[in-house]
Amino acid sequence: MNLDPGVKVISYVPDIDVRDYIVLEEVMEEYGLGPNGGMILASDLMVNFLDDIKDEIDEYNPDWIFVDTAGQLELFAFRETGPLIASALGFGDIQRSVSFLFDSNFVLRPNGFISTLLLAASVQFRFRNISQINILSKVDLIDEDQIDMILNWSHDFQALEDSTNEREKGLIRELSMLLSEVFIQMGSTSELIPCSSREDHGLDILFGHLQRVFDSDESKFY
């Protein structure tokens, strides 16, 4: 299912596509908005078509539903419509899980990793009744040593703090150190799963995690 009303090119053919109901360019033209304002309004207007989307889901009667949302967090996670849509689609026996992507190139430095960790925690707080899986995406773009370093940071916050102290400078270093301390006090977060859709790397591990989250053979929502 594609829930991004503004996407131009998709590398797959969605069975259910929100663009059948609402299209970014049409919203921009009707309301006289630019791309950013149009995306915000289009995302909000999706709630008007939830019943139609539910009907499409019923027609397919799927075991799994993979929902692709807009990449901008502020459009889905940080507006009221995102949790509302996730809640509305979770009807009946459908179980749900949110996947949060850590961009492999962005999290190579401690401050980038910490910033992303904060966003992941914020999304988990917003969708507090839905389990979350954290994914290190596009690992085909970095080498094995870099992958190991990032994974080590994800479960050893003392190592993250040490790397921050060594590699960051000035105000960025001070802020990063303070935030590292916060995560040390909070304890561990969800396991970070390295994946690459281009090379099919880690997708079997991700599927295993999803099975454990749902822990049943009934219909599921992801």
Please list the residues that pair with 131 across neighbouring strands: 97
- Give the C-alpha separation, 155 to 158, whole Å: 9
Token digits of residue 142: 């970095």
* Phi/psi of residue 93, nearest 5 degrees: -90, 5
Per the CB < 8 A criterion, the answer to whether 211 and 95 are in contact is no
Running DSSP on this structure, what letter comes out for residue 104? Answer: T
pLDDT value of position 182: 74
pLDDT at 92 exceeding the cut of 60: no
Question: What number of other Cβ atoms are within 10 A of residue 199's Cβ?
Answer: 11
pLDDT confidence band for 121 (50 / 70 / 90): confident
- Give the C-alpha separation, 126 to 196, whole Å: 26
Domain 92-214 classification at class level:
alpha beta
pLDDT at 220 exceeding the cut of 60: no
Domains of the chain, residue spans = 1-70, 92-214
Average pLDDT, integer, range 139-161: 90
Higher-confidence residue of 143 and 184: namely 143
The proportion of the chain whose per-residue pLDDT surpasses 90, expressed as a percent, equals 32
